[in-house]
Structure 1
Amino acid sequence: MAAPGVLSRCIVSPAGKHTASVIFLHGSGDSGQGIKSWIREILKQDLAFKHIKVIFPTAPAQPYSPMLGEMSNVWFDRYKISMECCENLDSIDSMCHVLTNLIQEEVKSGISKNRIILGGFSMGGAMAMHLAYRYNKDLAGVFALSSFLNKDSEVYQKIKEAKCRPPELFQCHGRADTLVLHKWGEETNTLLKSVGVATAFHSFPNLYHELNLQELEMLRTWILTKLPEEATASQDTKTA
């Protein structure tokens, strides 16, 4: 199914001057509003910054093979949920083009690509890695929460072929995750390191396939290290 050209989204606006952006992709079957509300429930406030706009787009409804072709809000179709399975690149690439348009909207508004971070939860994290490492290698960073790439993912080859340094990756996973196994996330991190991605793998012993407070606080800190508030020119003038 062809992806639509424009994605619905919800936004957490910066409190001050907008100088950077984060695009946060939800997991399969969810929505932008759903993950925004989930984060707010955990943090007791929105994932908000003084200078960073946070964008939560919603994936279009499309047939999803692991659900026997039922319609679901997913970023791409999978043949099955397995690290060993080959990727459905036609489906992934279709959505990469749509999400690149979302990145370009931020660029047109005055935000340079090195002031944009892309990431997500579960399938959203996998989508973010494809989008950043194959199509938008000049972003400020990537994050993947409870996510994995297929063992022979096209992402690894594209990183090896690239002549520029790939964006840094912030990756987390819960050890208790039985839906998307912890070892898949860990193996993904190891393979990304092997092709030159600067990354650390943060593991949480009692975390299932979910978000938690410590993870989100660590993510927030990492975002601020990658997208610090820009110094503004002094308004003071000297008099003769």
Structure 2
Amino acid sequence: MAASQKLHRCVVSQTGKHSASIIFLHGSGDTGLGLRAWVRDTFHLAFPHIRIIYPTAPARPYTPMQGALSNVWFDRHQISRDCSEHLESVDDMCSTLGSILHDEVQAGIPKHRIIIGGFSMGGAMALHLACRNHPEVGGVFALSSFLNKDSVVYQAVDDRKGHPLPELFQCHGSSDELVLHEWGEQTGALLRKAGMSVSFHTLPGLHHQLCAPELELLRAWLLRKLPPEEHSETRA
């Protein structure tokens, strides 16, 4: 896939002056439109000053599905913490998604007023994009997500000790049978050890899905990180 490919985007516009942006990445096999509908049906996640962008990953052969085409951000050798990352496809997509950040900056939104996050595979993609390529962003969130135990993200975070890093917000269901709770918890623990500020929230009984209490927690965190401009900190 060419890094210059333009992704389809589903956008929820702000109701007032646009002063911040969120890039919300879907899980494997989904679309931006599908994630937008899921969020809408679960919890009202909209803001007067924040634009939410739901991109769609291009269809690519996906190894865990025996090479069948699927809308995934990157390929995986298998769904496991213990295997190596498919870095060629990860890095390709980091370049492609970087165009969305560029467009928001061109529209007048500084990077510290942009947050990147996602559900499942989207959360892992967001961590690569934010921690390795755009550490100046205002934060990153990962819902029901994990990184491989030897992920290059850990080293990237460790290498930035003494330099600004985005804060990480994580949520994970205790009953998640696809992405185990311990995988998400260990991901947060390793990022915290490497020097990242991490808040981890366990949702009792939640499977591999979104829920209203989770999105309510996320909304509160987003507003703390991206308040209306009149309430935000003055930056040089």
Asked whether the two chains share a fold, i.e. TM above 0.5, the reply is: yes
- 1:111 equivalent in structure 2: 109
* Separation of aligned partners in 2, 1:130 and 1:35: 20
Q: CA offset at residue 4 of structure 1?
A: 5.2
Map residues 56-71 of structure 1 onto 2, 5 A cutoff.
Answer: 56-71=54-69
Supply the AA of the counterpart residue of 1:142. Answer: V
* Separation of aligned partners in 1, 2:90 and 2:22: 20
1:8-39 superposed Cα distances (whole Å, 9 cap, x missing partner): 01111001000000000000000000000001
SS at match of 2:69: strand
- 1:144 equivalent in structure 2: 142
* Separation of aligned partners in 2, 1:33 and 1:206: 27
* Separation of aligned partners in 2, 1:170 and 1:95: 22
* Separation of aligned partners in 1, 2:39 and 2:4: 26
Map residues 13-24 of structure 1 onto 2, 5 A cutoff.
Answer: 13-24=13-24
Does the 8 Å CA contact 2:3/2:92 hold for their aligned counterparts?
Answer: yes
Consecutive unaligned residues in structure 2, runs of 5 or more: 232-236
* Separation of aligned partners in 2, 1:201 and 1:110: 31
Does the 8 Å CA contact 2:23/2:115 hold for their aligned counterparts?
Answer: yes
Query: Are 1:37 and 2:30 an aligned pair?
Result: no
Does the 8 Å CA contact 1:36/1:56 hold for their aligned counterparts?
Answer: yes
SS at match of 1:231: helix
Supply the AA of the counterpart residue of 1:38. Answer: W
Consecutive unaligned residues in structure 1, runs of 5 or more: 233-240
Question: Normalising by the residue count of structure 2, what TM-score does the alignment of the two structures yield?
Answer: 0.95
Does the 8 Å CA contact 1:3/1:60 hold for their aligned counterparts?
Answer: no
Does the 8 Å CA contact 1:87/1:153 hold for their aligned counterparts?
Answer: yes
Q: Cα RMSD between the aligned structures?
A: 1.1
Percent of residue pairs bearing the same amino acid type: 58
* Separation of aligned partners in 2, 1:94 and 1:203: 32
Question: Normalising by the residue count of structure 1, what TM-score does the alignment of the two structures yield?
Answer: 0.94
Q: CA offset at residue 2 of structure 1?
A: 3.7
After the TM superposition, list the runs of 4 or more consecutive aligned residues in structure 1 that deviate by more than 6 angstroms: none
